[in-house]
Structure 1
Amino acid sequence: MKNELIIGDRFEGVLLETIKGKSSSRPRVRPLEYFDLEIRVEFPRHLREDNPLGTRFRSDVKVSQKTKNGEPWGSPYLVATDSSIIKLDYTPKKLIQAIKLNTASDRAYDYIEKEFKVEPKLIKFSEFRKKAYINSIESPKSKVTNASSIQRSDIIKTYALSRANGTCEACDNDAPFLKRNGQPYLEVHHIKELGKGGSDSPKNVAAICPNCHARVTHGQDANKFNNELRSKILTKEEELEK
């Protein structure tokens, strides 16, 4: 069943794939899950052009729609959040590369095709874990001067959710419900707050249910509960390291 499109809705970690556009030869991107394949996806141009057709990504997306004279205009479309885009280790059966032609048109491309002998595969969790550590931020800074927003890596959030695999890392219960895109709903908590010197890294994040998140933030035993969570995550990471 495809999602009902509600303007402004956001979906996390949607599987996307580069394809050849229908209305022009320009490479485009389509979703492979949750949405109609024909829906347009606004995606960084350099990623569409620099990668062969069939390249797969995961990205957070937002449902958007243009307006004209204050009224909705055209069909709804998806906008990929640049900072959340992760390229998957996936090899298409054929390598088809888009080559921009030297013409007056911005939409003129040719395609060069080469056969692959390798079978497609998705990124392994162990490889994703390595990328998460590489992208860790030990001392996050404010994104802009006088802003409360602290720099953080989207891959760390995605890693915590992947590590949890639908189970709260605090109480060990299943996520309380599924989101519209079918993914378990958990919230990513920084065990030591970023604003207090905490790192944006796998060892300092936990994917927990809303109830545990409220407890670790507002509960009478918040500090004790948070310290217990810290120990659980460190133990989990040590086991994954083996």
Structure 2
Amino acid sequence: MVELVNVSKSYGKGPLALDDVSLTVEDGEFVFIVGSSGAGKSTLLKLLLREEEPTGGKVLVDGVDLGRLTRRRIPYFRRSIGVVFQDFRLIPQMNVFENVAFALRVTNVSTKEIKRRVPYVLDLVGLLPKAKRFPEQLSGGEQQRVALARALVNNPSMIIADEPTGNIDPAMSFEIVELLSEINKCGTTVIMVTHEHELVSRFRHRTVVIDRGRVVADGKIGGKRARQ
């Protein structure tokens, strides 16, 4: 699903944001990306979404060399990826149903198909009874579930979650990761950036540790795959 080959990224005269990173994520894996602030986690995600290009090396997603994507093809490529952000990024003037449907409308999906798919994903995240509520009427955890439903509605092959539990309480954090884990069991690849070590320890998915732009550990916490 994802392959980084000797990838480096520089933003100028300072130290490299990523320094000769090679990493493979198989189709259907769940991978935590952890590291301190400034370690290179956000840069990695930007490369996977083709928001940035590497200074050196190759980034491939689902067999596509992102360095060869034309500007015109980038939006179509991104439709195959669901993205969940820390700050939810919901549209306050739209209710829950409309926020999720918006992801379909911008890709010209028919109204009939929207009416079929949106209730399905809202039911999946446990929010179908709140379809007509607005973001301000929801808790932080519920808003993140809406954001997750929006990421899922296009049936992506991969979900990238950037600190999705950063603005919600610990109990709800576990629920969000449990939901992502259930989605992963259905075959969707999940890459989740987090700084919450309790989540990493509890769920014991493969964990990639980045420090100063380099991968310094890769494996399951406490498992045989870990390397340092």
* Length-normalised TM-score, structure 1: 0.25
Q: Specify which structure has the bigger relative contact order, considering alpha-carbon pairs within 8 angstroms and separated by 6 or more residues.
A: 2
Report the structure number with the largest CA radius of gyration.
Answer: 1
TM-score (norm: length of structure 2):
0.26
Question: Which structure features the higher share of helix residues?
Answer: 2
